[in-house]
Structure 1
Amino acid sequence: MDPLTTDLRNMNTLAKIMRQRRIVKGALTLASAEVKFQIDTETHDPLDIGMYQIREATQMVEEFMLAANVSVAKQIRECFLPVRYYGKLVFYVPLCYPKIQTR
């Protein structure tokens, strides 16, 4: 088996573990059906309607995108201080700055 296939299979296994952990922790799972249309290329009229099947590859990508979003949110929470103005959260003040490399 080639390395790319091995990596993708490992990523899919990891995504399934990550998803299961989120569900155990009480994550919201939205399983709404998605509709897809087949459109005529010339008239743009709908030719057929069907249900979009969510494939494992789609779930894997969604899981890693969610992990990336969580990671960014944690970084923002650690590096920025929320500031309130008249009782409302209005902006964040940076607490840590990226290191600038000098030559």
Structure 2
Amino acid sequence: MKEIMKYIFISITLLFIGCNSEIKKPEKVEKLYTYNIDDKLKELGIELTEPKLPKGVNIVLTVQSNNLIYLSGNGPILPNGDRITGKVGSDLSIEQGYAAARQTA
């Protein structure tokens, strides 16, 4: 019985020693880029609009968790909420496909 109590005591002691609730913060956060994003978008002639979903669609486009953003099947949606659909070559011209790709990004 003393042997079992000894192992239980050692196990509990190791459990308390091993548990550390302290959350370590990164010492230094480095920027991934050296330019201002808003200035770069203006330089490239890109205007970001608030995404609108087509009527009847009820999904969440993005969810942010800390520094991660999760996307959910986003496709090309025009500023007025209409979706661009079709296949480049048969339904869309190359220029229309390029514009749809820019809307998606």
Q: Which has the higher helix share?
A: 1
Q: TM-score, normalised by structure 1?
A: 0.22
Q: Which has the higher strand share?
A: 1
